[in-house]
Amino acid sequence: MENWIELSALEYKKVWDRIYDEFNFEPSISNFPSFNVPNPFITYDVSKYLNGFVDLDSYDEIYNDLEEKSLLVFKELTQKNEYMYALDWQHPGYWINPRLEFPKSEFDEWTVPIFPNGDYYFFIHKNFEWGLLGHPLEESITIFGKELIKSFEKHQPRMFQMILRQG
């Protein structure tokens, strides 16, 4: 089996149409949040990891912790052969399976990074039951869906310390 399977043009259009419609997604450089996810949700402030407030070694540890905990949570919430969405706004989107290999790029990141260091990065269940949405300009990560929140409470990334909003 393969991981990071690029969405077809039709799949790409359908998933982004759904995000624009269901989340009222309106990318903005000043109006935050740029999306409205269903309750329950928690939005975490990750700005200190984007603005150089953490030394490079600590950043790498905290970033790797976010990747590891996110994969663990995604594995808990998906079936063995189940795929979910990994989306990078205005770039190719992918089907991913959390149980398969997650190779990294030359920048030591996943094909679609989990941390919003320059673009909107979304990891969403195939039926939109839960998701993790990274907002690069608000410098936040929002998680929604009761199961996802509970699983992240069990396996809390070190990065998830300061809450901006919840509902």
Banded model confidence at residue 94, pLDDT cuts 50, 70, 90: very high
Domain extent listing, the chain: 5-166
Banded model confidence at residue 1, pLDDT cuts 50, 70, 90: low
Q: CA-to-CA distance for 103 and 3, rounded, in angstroms?
A: 9
Q: CA-to-CA distance for 100 and 111, rounded, in angstroms?
A: 14
Q: CA-to-CA distance for 37 and 167, rounded, in angstroms?
A: 9
pLDDT in tens, 7-59: 999 999 999 999 999 999 999 888 888 999 999 999 999 998 887 666 767 87
- Assessment of whether the complete model's pTM goes beyond 0.75: yes
Supply the mean pLDDT for the chain: 93
Banded model confidence at residue 4, pLDDT cuts 50, 70, 90: very high
pLDDT in tens, 113-167: 999 988 999 999 999 999 999 999 999 999 999 999 999 999 999 999 999 999 9
- The reported pLDDT for the residue numbered 103 is 84
- The reported pLDDT for the residue numbered 49 is 86
Give, in order, the Cα–Cα distances in Å from 4 to each of 70, 78, 92, 96, 148. 16, 16, 10, 5, 21
Banded model confidence at residue 108, pLDDT cuts 50, 70, 90: confident
